[in-house]
Structure 1
Amino acid sequence: MTGYREVAARIRRDIEAGIWPTDRPIPGIDKLRVRYDVARQTANRAVQHLVSEGVLFSQGRRGTFIRPPAPAPIVARDRHVYRDQLGYFFDRGAQDWRGVGTPTQEVGVPPDDVAELLGVGKGEHVMIRDRAVGPPDATHPLQLATSYLPMSLVGQLPVLGAAKTGPGGIYDRLEEHFGAPICWEETVSSRPANDREQAALRIGAGLPVLVVTRVSRVCEQVVEVNRTRMPADRFAVNYPVQRDTTARWPREAERSE
């Protein structure tokens, strides 16, 4: 009896051979069952296996599609902030990326951990700005970024809640308002993608997202928390490893000789 993994391997080979176009759904389960001469359940498990591996992604009633190949090279985030004529950016490999779709601004309740980072009470409303970005020719985003700003600050600086915040975006407006530079601190983690992220990033339920939580401070005051999510298999984090004083060279034993 043919197992679902063997069927999945055969489907993968057909995908790599270009049997089906990436802009249209692959054949339905019944057609796959006939093509590979297996039970319907086996064909279905094979497809779900490839979804979990990130080879395919589901768009509900629209069908199951071949996931486009990863861009080359994979974007590597480092520990620097950069600036060009448009303002600050954090990924050199994504410098030319632009918004995909229409960004949104709304007042809402942030996740509890974000509220704690912002220094606002649990359940307290904040300004939430959502933005999706990708390469200039992207048909779907590769990053989802959500900024959370305390309403007390938005009251002082209403442009933070506007659709258009002017050259340099909210970071330039914040630095102009305080007359001081922003300092950033990032934490990188991963977790399973939620339903919204799976649909927007076109990834299967089995693939995690890399989550970069960036805390923006001016003079020790937290002015924004940004949470950026991206497919974990298409991004990397790169940073130099620096020696602590305990690891200095020459080593103590050699210095005393």
Structure 2
Amino acid sequence: MARRASYLRVADDLRRRIKAGEWGVGQRLPSRAQVAENYQVSPAVVQRAMERLIIEGLLEGRAGSGTMVRAPRERLRMVRSRHREQRGGSPFRADMKEQGRHGTWESHSRARVPAPDRVAQRLAIDPGDPCVRTTYEFLADDHPVQLSESWEPMAITGGTPIVLPEMGPLAGMGVVERMRTIGVVIDTAVEVPRPGRATQEEANLLGISVGDLLTRIERTYYDSDGRPVETADIAVPDVRWEIAYEIPIGQPKG
């Protein structure tokens, strides 16, 4: 986005200052009023920024003591948020940047792959309809982080410059940005997380053992008309990463 939400900008800078050692583990941050004055924002904005960093595991709130810097986790936390798709470019690369890591990936696409029943059901198409199937291996600082298998109906992308997700001028930009260039506006993502066990192939790619716990995420993107336009199966090794969902709570009107 050209302009990020104010609380995300405050969270970015607080994250940077924490990682630079401005506040040590167990040390209390200034009051919300002080931080708000420093950044020239409202206390409500600061509260949301700190809540974001609590979700990420960098801060913790203690009753009667304020907000403290938390001891590092053995497992890293991957935050799934509506804002991850609104930052422009690749959401994964942005996620890893917030962790202080360099995010990259390897991919392989095949066009005109017949949709299996499970994919057809999720994309509201007929079984056997042609899709582009793309497999991904996502890396952080050259270490495997997650795997993904993505399906896009060729009825939507066929004959356009974005038919192959990782080729052409928009390679690496993410589904939301790519689809927007052909007039498909994605405004909803539905994710269904489930526990799973690593297969031999997954274990080899992720550098874990066969049977290790995974978090499997079934994700589907919908456009503004409610049409499913992409679906993916994501596998995250539980031993290294925990998944946290940021869920905005609307305030009652009046």
> TM-score with structure 2 length normalisation?
0.57
Partners of 2:211 and 2:184 in 1: CA distance: 45
Partners of 1:110 and 1:197 in 2: CA distance: 22
Residue in structure 2 matched with residue 125 of structure 1 by the alignment: 130
- 1:193 aligns with one of 173, 198, 207: 198
Partners of 1:166 and 1:90 in 2: CA distance: 17
Partners of 2:165 and 2:96 in 1: CA distance: 28
- 1:241 shift after superposition: 7.5
- 1:148 aligns with one of 151, 154, 176: 151
Structure 2 vs 1, CA of residues 225 and 165 (structure 1 numbering), >3 Å: closer, same or farther?
A: farther
- 1:211 shift after superposition: 1.0
Partners of 1:215 and 1:87 in 2: CA distance: 16
Structure 2 vs 1, CA of residues 97 and 209 (structure 1 numbering), >3 Å: closer, same or farther?
A: farther
Partners of 1:211 and 1:94 in 2: CA distance: 23
Aligned pairs (5 A) from 1:189-228: 189-219=194-224, 220-228=226-234
Partners of 1:154 and 1:93 in 2: CA distance: 28
Structure 2 vs 1, CA of residues 98 and 179 (structure 1 numbering), >3 Å: closer, same or farther?
A: same
Report the AA paired with residue 77 of structure 2: V
- 1:133 shift after superposition: 1.1
Query: Does the 8 Å contact 1:178/1:218 carry over to 2?
Result: no
Partners of 1:185 and 1:127 in 2: CA distance: 20
Consecutive unaligned residues of structure 1, counting only runs of 5 or more, are: 1-70, 249-257
Partners of 1:215 and 1:241 in 2: CA distance: 17
> TM-score with structure 1 length normalisation?
0.57
Does 1:103 pair with 2:107? yes
Residue in structure 1 matched with residue 189 of structure 2 by the alignment: 184
Residue in structure 2 matched with residue 81 of structure 1 by the alignment: 83
SS of match in other structure, 2:239: coil
Aligned pairs (5 A) from 1:31-46: none
Partners of 2:247 and 2:87 in 1: CA distance: 27
Q: Work out the number of aligned pairs and report it.
A: 173
Query: Does the 8 Å contact 1:78/1:91 carry over to 2?
Result: no
Partners of 2:88 and 2:230 in 1: CA distance: 22
Query: Does the 8 Å contact 2:96/2:140 carry over to 1?
Result: no
Query: Does the 8 Å contact 1:94/1:135 carry over to 2?
Result: no
Partners of 2:218 and 2:97 in 1: CA distance: 18
Partners of 2:175 and 2:126 in 1: CA distance: 23
Query: Does the 8 Å contact 2:92/2:103 carry over to 1?
Result: no
Overall identity of the aligned pairs, in %: 17
Does 1:235 pair with 2:238? no
Query: Does the 8 Å contact 2:75/2:239 carry over to 1?
Result: no
Partners of 1:187 and 1:202 in 2: CA distance: 24
Structure 2 vs 1, CA of residues 126 and 236 (structure 1 numbering), >3 Å: closer, same or farther?
A: same
Query: Does the 8 Å contact 1:187/1:213 carry over to 2?
Result: yes
Structure 2 vs 1, CA of residues 90 and 163 (structure 1 numbering), >3 Å: closer, same or farther?
A: closer
Residue in structure 2 matched with residue 134 of structure 1 by the alignment: 139
Residue in structure 2 matched with residue 164 of structure 1 by the alignment: 167
Query: Does the 8 Å contact 1:160/1:170 carry over to 2?
Result: no
Partners of 1:84 and 1:172 in 2: CA distance: 10
Query: Does the 8 Å contact 1:99/1:131 carry over to 2?
Result: no
Structure 2 vs 1, CA of residues 195 and 222 (structure 1 numbering), >3 Å: closer, same or farther?
A: same
